[in-house]
């Protein structure tokens, strides 16, 4: 039997990516100053970061990181159930749970690990099912496949589609999983309708609110709080430490018994070195500022409205979103690359987003706004987008 040669396979796949304008290239950031970044020796206004509240370089947050690193080092040294669970971790978990008004929280090294932990620990049988929105983040979809349960997907934002899928899996435990704010479209899941579906179908509703917490809801408590739902309706939700909080890592928040089960059984938690204590200390400081500083959300909301108003008047093709994620649709992958290159010439960094990150035919520029942007920068970005509609040479930066 002759096995396929993996080098031949990847060479063929790359050739296909080149033909489809889907080659990805990593850009090197040398320095960062707020929303200004030095990329390949040139300073650009960054409009593609998830640092929505501008906390990643905030003085008190970076001071907390430096002080904790000087005191505790750069590593937790072990997994949480060996010797890696530090006082800084416990403090952050307590603060997260208190902020989101839930009984308990559990830290993870990343969103991917957290979503895998939830589904592997709770859906361990082949008869179990996870019903998911078709546009959920890849970590939710991959987690269901790795957990070994049945994955069922419903049309985007369609609560009736969700209930139909749940009715098709009458036996076994069921989880209904959705993003709170969808990372590529910027819209918000119909959480109240999904909560009703989950209750009627006896499914556990799990909300990955990576892009919602810090930005939406009262005191920035996220999409679940904005929908006036609590732990009874949404027993588990995910918080990213690397989006609005400006750090790195993630946490699962919710029902105490479920959180305890994850802490005792979830392999992505048990078999991974704990988050560095210094990062936990920095996230605690960022959390306190995100919780307190409504002015950051108010300024961000004003910038979002400003961008949408000016872009709409200019005739740009936007998706319906009132979040910091503002996709500008393009007709083809090549057009997205050309527009991205033109924006860079104008001093703005907005990489092209192409399949498979987004569905076929949905290439776009994923503009993201931060509380650190100025109104003048937003106006300049719209003007640069208008100029970009003219034919431009192609580029290869993007996702």
| Residue 39 CB contacts under 8 Å (≥ 6 apart), including other chains | 27, 28, 29, 30, 349
Q: Are 165 and 154 in contact (CB under 8 A)?
A: yes
pLDDT band per the 50, 70, 90 thresholds, residue 24:
confident
Q: What is the pLDDT of residue 395?
A: 43
Percent of the chain at pLDDT above 90?
88
CA 135 to CA 319: how far, in whole Å?
A: 14
Strand partners, 318: 328
| Choice among 65-74, 126-135, 352-361 with the minimum mean pLDDT | 352-361
pLDDT of residue 23: 87
Cite the annotated binding site by residue number. 24, 137, 211, 357
Residue 150 has pLDDT above 60, yes or no: yes
Residue numbering of the annotated binding site for substrate: 24, 137, 357
pTM of the model: 0.94
Lowest mean pLDDT among 55-64, 103-112, 118-127: 118-127
| DSSP label of 220 | G
Residues in the chain: 399
* DSSP structural state of residue 276: P
Domain ranges in the chain with CATH number 3.40.640.10: 59-292
- Rg of the chain over Cα atoms, rounded to whole angstroms, equals 21
Are the beta carbons of 45 and 348 closer than 8 angstroms?
A: yes
Residues 6+ apart with CB under 8 A from 282: 61, 62, 64, 65, 68, 247
Supply the pLDDT for residue 124. 78
Which regions of the chain carry the CATH code 3.90.1150.10?
A: 20-53+293-388
What is the rounded average pLDDT for all residues in the chain? Answer: 95
In CATH, which of 3.40.50.2300, 3.30.565.10, 3.40.640.10, 3.90.1510.10 is domain 59-292?
3.40.640.10
- Domain 20-53+293-388 carries which CATH code? 3.90.1150.10
Of 100, 72, 74, the closest CA to residue 87 belongs to 72
Going by the annotation, the residues of the binding site for pyridoxal 5'-phosphate are 211
Q: Give the confidence band of 393 by pLDDT, cuts at 50, 70, 90.
A: very low
Is the predicted pLDDT of residue 391 greater than 80, yes or no?
no
Could you give the dihedral angle defined by the CA atoms of residues 251, 256, 260 and 266, in that order, rounded to the nearest 10 degrees? -50
pLDDT for 398 equals 57
Instruction: Please tell me the least confidently modeled range out of 31-40, 53-62, 390-399.
Output: 390-399
DSSP structure string for 60-80: HHHHHHHHHHHHH-S---S-I
Cα-based distances in Å from 84 to 63, 89, 283: 22, 9, 17
How many C-beta atoms lie closer than 10 Å to residue 392's C-beta? 18
Q: Is the pLDDT of residue 300 over 60?
A: yes
**pLDDT recorded at residue 394:** 42
pLDDT tens sequence across 115-147: 999 999 999 788 899 999 999 999 999 999 999
Pick from 338, 342, 336: nearest CA to 317: 336
Q: Does the pLDDT value for residue 396 go beyond 80?
A: no
pLDDT reported for residue 392: 46
pLDDT tens, position by position, 377-390: 999 999 999 999 86
Query: In this predicted model, which residue has the larger pLDDT, 391 or 243?
Result: 243
**Lowest pLDDT segment from 316-320, 329-333, 393-397:** 393-397
- pLDDT score for 222: 98
Per-residue pLDDT tens over the stretch 368-377: 999 999 999 9
Q: With b meaning 16 or more CB within 10 Å and e meaning fewer, what string describes 260-276?
A: eebbeebebbbebebbb
């Amino acid at each position: 039997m002759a096995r396929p040669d993996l080098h031949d396979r990847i060479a063929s796949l790359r050739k296909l990516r080149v033909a489809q304008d889907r080659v990805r290239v990593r850009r090197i950031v040398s320095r960062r100053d707020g929303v200004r970044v030095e990329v390949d020796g040139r300073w650009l206004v960054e409009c593609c970061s998830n640092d929505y509240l501008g906390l990643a370089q905030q003085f008190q947050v970076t001071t907390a990181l430096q002080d904790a690193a000087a005191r505790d080092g750069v590593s937790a040294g072990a997994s949480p159930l060996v010797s890696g669970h530090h006082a800084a971790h416990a403090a952050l978990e307590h603060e997260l749970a208190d902020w989101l008004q839930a009984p308990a929280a559990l830290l993870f090294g990343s969103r991917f690990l957290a979503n895998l932990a939830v589904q592997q620990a709770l859906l361990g049988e082949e008869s179990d099912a996870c019903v998911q929105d078709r546009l959920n983040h890849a970590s939710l979809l991959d987690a269901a496949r790795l957990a070994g349960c049945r994955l069922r997907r419903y049309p985007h934002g369609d609560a009736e589609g969700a209930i139909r899928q749940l009715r098709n899996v009458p036996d076994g435990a069921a989880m209904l999983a959705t993003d709170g704010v969808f990372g590529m479209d910027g819209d918000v899941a119909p959480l109240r309708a999904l909560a009703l579906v989950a209750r009627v179908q006896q499914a556990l509703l799990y909300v990955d609110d990576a892009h919602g917490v810090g930005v939406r809801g009262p005191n920035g408590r996220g999409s679940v709080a904005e929908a006036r739902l609590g732990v009874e309706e949404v027993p588990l939700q995910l918080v990213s430490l690397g989006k609005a909080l400006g750090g790195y890592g993630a946490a699962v928040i919710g029902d105490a018994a479920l959180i305890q089960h994850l802490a005792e059984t979830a392999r992505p938690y048990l078999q991974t070195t704990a988050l560095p204590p210094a990062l936990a200390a920095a996230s605690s400081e960022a959390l306190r500022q995100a919780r307190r500083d409504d002015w950051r959300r108010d300024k961000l909301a004003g910038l979002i409205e400003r961008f949408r108003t000016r872009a709409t008047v200019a005739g740009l093709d936007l998706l319906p979103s009132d979040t910091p994620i503002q996709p500008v649709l393009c007709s083809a992958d090549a057009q997205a690359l050309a527009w991205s290159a033109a924006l860079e010439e104008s001093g703005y960094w907005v990489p092209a987003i192409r399949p498979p990150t987004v569905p076929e035919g949905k290439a776009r520029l994923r503009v993201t706004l931060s509380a650190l942007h100025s109104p003048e920068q937003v106006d300049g970005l719209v003007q640069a987008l208008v100029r970009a509609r003219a034919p431009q040479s192609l580029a290869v930066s993007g996702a």
